[in-house]
């Protein structure tokens, strides 16, 4: 590939609009959402125009900043952080176009659209530039927390400009001594005579904790009041603005929040990951309590659960970007002679069976993970807004189960599939010039974000499965089995076998829930097994719809080639990727003894 070709492959991105339209038609049905009273104002034609424009915006405005951002990175200048120069113009357009406001309520300046509809907007922007996308992602989570737990005055002062994107938001949990053990947080907040607080402490790994994209940054910070109990029960949530809001609603006095440093990271170089110090220059940073004292974890989980699905979508988005580049390279790069090629002719590598296998593995896995994430969002929308209370309860249970699957499996796949994209490039993939390596470097953080994937697995088996003695998960597996019974035999048979494996593993974990060691030892392979099966069912559901539409493709809105590919991609997944569940089962049911059978002293020479 020529130098010009490399540059184009690095910067080009095409939003997968037909894929999204198909998901909305057949997997996470948009018509069911717009039929709800809460979303009766949502016009399908408006949604289609929104998707078109979001795809154009991501491709033309954001995607060209991806390589610039990686090379330039963020940097500390005096007491502030400068992000890559190209981010500024893109972010101005992001705010002016209202992309960050689409999913928020209309009464705070939002568009009032379902979360499901905003998923492709987030996906497109993340595919275009993952580092750039993290600023609005964290702001969205902060908005959710304040909507749910802030008082009327806080919502009035902070939300309009956060919803518009004029101000950014952050989430501050981690401290040097705490890591994922949030209960070990030591940041202190002392109440003042006027009801405000003064906050002191240090936070690490704060994404976009300081930057020059917005005129203000609204930090949501976990801290302890002086008499708080130990552990997570003693945590409270506070608003700590970079600039206190003045009487006119604009940035006023600078608060005592300073950036100590930013991390030198493997990837997402354009996103500043900050160490922040609170209250080092005086009596403490000005802070306002959000909700009740010692109720901070409940408030923070409102933000974290939103972020967990968003991070799962990052796995899909970065894998899609890497896949598109790998396909473009494989279509142009010539090497060797593929089976059936003429003597003495070099074949395009896309014609070689092993390269085709890698590309199909990427395509099938991305489509399965995307379907899972979008169904997760659909469940959240139904849980929040369904007109029927029984349906709301059911969909809340479904969202609770799918969230760790979406976050854990999709981000693991993001790493694996971006690595495959490097492999398609061969030696050129290992050279930064092609840009393929950047996607792998960027993707690697997502399995760590918002609770590592091991924590997601623990949540799945400890709370979502064992919490109600398996009642909801068992009912959900019955629901999947009923769906599979309606598929053609070539798709139903492998899925029925895989569901049988999932049922047996589920039963084993429930029988061993009294032994935390056995339960937790099987957690990670169980999450992988569970998600792999759900992904297969969703692909087969799409394939069944595609088969129906092939009798009259124009009526479906999709052409014959697209529909045929849907069936073929699902078949590939079920025949070549789904069988891994049989290999995962022994790891689920092996118990803790296999993990402790080697002495700690023997793990290293």
Q: Which residues are catalytic?
A: 450
Distance CA 358, CA 350 (A): 10
| Torsion angle defined by CA atoms of residues 110, 112, 115 and 121, in that order, rounded to the nearest 10 degrees | -60
CB atoms within 10 A of CB 29: 15
Q: What is the full DSSP assignment across 547-561?
A: HHHTTSHHHHTS-HH
> Which distant-in-sequence residues (6+ apart) come within 8 Å of 193 by Cβ?
none
CB contact at 8 A, 471 and 510: no
C-alpha dist (Å) from residue 160 to 110, 169, 220: 8, 12, 16
Q: Where are the alpha helices (DSSP H) in 489-579?
A: 489-511, 516-521, 523-549, 553-556, 560-572
Distance CA 305, CA 436 (A): 30
CB contact at 8 A, 374 and 367: no
**φ and ψ at 156, to 5 degrees?**
-65, -40
Distance CA 526, CA 505 (A): 7
Q: Which residues are registered as beta bridge partners of 287?
A: 197
Task: Label the pairing between strands 167-172 and 216-223.
Answer: parallel
Terminal C-alpha separation, the chain? 45
C-alpha dist (Å) from residue 325 to 14, 171, 364, 540: 10, 33, 16, 26
Conformational region of residue 155, where left means phi above 0, alpha means psi within -120 to 50, and beta covers everything else: alpha
SS (H, E, C) 73-136: CCEEECCEEECCHHHHHHHHHHHHHCHHHCCCCHHHCCCCCCHHHHHHHHHHHHHHCHHHHHHH
The alpha carbon of residue 473 and the mean position of all alpha carbons in its chain are separated, in whole angstroms, by 23
Cα maximum dimension of the chain? 87
Distance CA 253, CA 251 (A): 7
Burial level of 79, CB count in 10 A (0-12/13-18/19+)?
exposed
Least Cα distance to 135 among 166, 108, 109 occurs for 166
Helix, strand or coil, per DSSP, at residue 230: coil
**φ and ψ at 486, to 5 degrees?**
-90, 0
CB contact at 8 A, 384 and 347: no
The alpha carbon of residue 192 and the mean position of all alpha carbons in its chain are separated, in whole angstroms, by 38
């Amino acid at each position: 590939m020529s130098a010009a070709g490399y540059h184009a492959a690095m910067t080009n991105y095409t939003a997968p609009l037909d894929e999204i339209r198909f998901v909305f038609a057949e997997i996470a049905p948009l018509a069911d959402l717009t039929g709800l009273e809460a979303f009766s104002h949502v016009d399908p034609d408006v949604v289609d125009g929104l998707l078109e424009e979001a795809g154009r915006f991501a491709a033309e405005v954001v995607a060209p900043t991806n390589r610039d951002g990686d090379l330039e990175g963020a940097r500390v200048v005096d007491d502030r952080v400068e992000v890559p120069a190209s981010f500024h113009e893109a972010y101005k357009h992001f705010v002016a176009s209202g992309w960050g406001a689409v999913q928020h309520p209309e009464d705070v300046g939002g568009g009032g659209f379902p979360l499901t509809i905003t998923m492709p907007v987030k996906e497109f922007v993340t595919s275009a530039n993952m580092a750039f996308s993290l600023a609005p992602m964290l702001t969205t989570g902060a908005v959710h927390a304040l909507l749910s737990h802030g008082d009327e005055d806080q919502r009035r002062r902070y939300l309009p400009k956060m919803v518009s994107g004029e101000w950014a938001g952050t989430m501050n949990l981690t401290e040097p001594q705490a890591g994922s053990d949030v209960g070990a947080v030591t940041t202190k907040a002392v109440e003042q005579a006027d009801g405000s607080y003064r906050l002191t402490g240090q936070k690490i790994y704060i994404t976009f904790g300081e930057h020059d994209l917005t005129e203000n940054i609204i930090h949501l910070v976990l801290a302890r009041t002086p008499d708080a109990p130990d552990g997570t029960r003693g945590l409270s949530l506070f608003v700590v603005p970079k600039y206190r809001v003045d009487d006119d609603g604009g940035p006023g006095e600078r608060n005592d929040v300073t950036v100590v440093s930013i991390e030198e990271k493997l990837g997402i170089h354009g996103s500043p990951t900050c160490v922040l110090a609170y209250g080092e220059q005086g009596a403490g940073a000005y802070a306002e309590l959000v909700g009740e004292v010692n109720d901070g974890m409940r408030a923070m989980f409102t933000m974290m659960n939103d972020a967990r699905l968003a991070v799962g979508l990052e796995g899909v988005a970065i894998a899609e970007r890497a896949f598109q580049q790998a396909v473009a390279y494989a279509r142009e790069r010539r090497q060797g002679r593929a089976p059936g090629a003429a003597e003495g002719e070099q074949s395009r590598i896309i014609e070689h069976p092993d390269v085709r296998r890698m590309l199909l593995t990427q395509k099938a896995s991305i489509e399965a993970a995307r379907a899972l994430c979008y169904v997760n969002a659909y469940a959240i929308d139904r849980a929040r807004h369904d007109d029927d209370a029984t349906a709301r309860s059911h969909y809340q249970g479904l969202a609770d189960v799918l969230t760790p699957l979406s976050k854990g499996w999709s981000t693991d796949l993001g790493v694996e599939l971006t690595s495959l994209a490097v492999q398609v490039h061969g030696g050129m993939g290992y050279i930064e010039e092609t840009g393929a390596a950047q996607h792998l470097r960027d993707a690697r953080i997502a399995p760590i974000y918002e609770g590592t994937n091991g924590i997601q697995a623990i949540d799945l088996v400890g709370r979502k499965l064992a919490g109600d003695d398996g009642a909801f998960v068992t009912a959900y597996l019955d629901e999947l089995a009923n769906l599979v019974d309606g598929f053609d035999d070539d798709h139903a048979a492998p899925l029925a076998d895989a569901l049988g494996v999932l049922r047996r593993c589920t039963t084993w974990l429930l029988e061993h829930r009294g032994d935390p060691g056995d339960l937790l030892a099987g957690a990670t392979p169980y999450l992988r097994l569970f998600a792999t099966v759900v992904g297969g069912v969703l692909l087969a559901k799409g394939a069944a719809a595609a088969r129906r539409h092939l009798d009259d493709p124009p009526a479906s809105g999709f052409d014959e080639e697209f529909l045929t590919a849907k069936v073929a991609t699902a078949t590939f997944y079920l025949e070549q990727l789904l069988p891994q569940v049989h290999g995962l089962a022994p790891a689920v049911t092996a118990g803790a003894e296999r993990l402790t059978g080697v002495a700690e002293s023997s793990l290293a020479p």
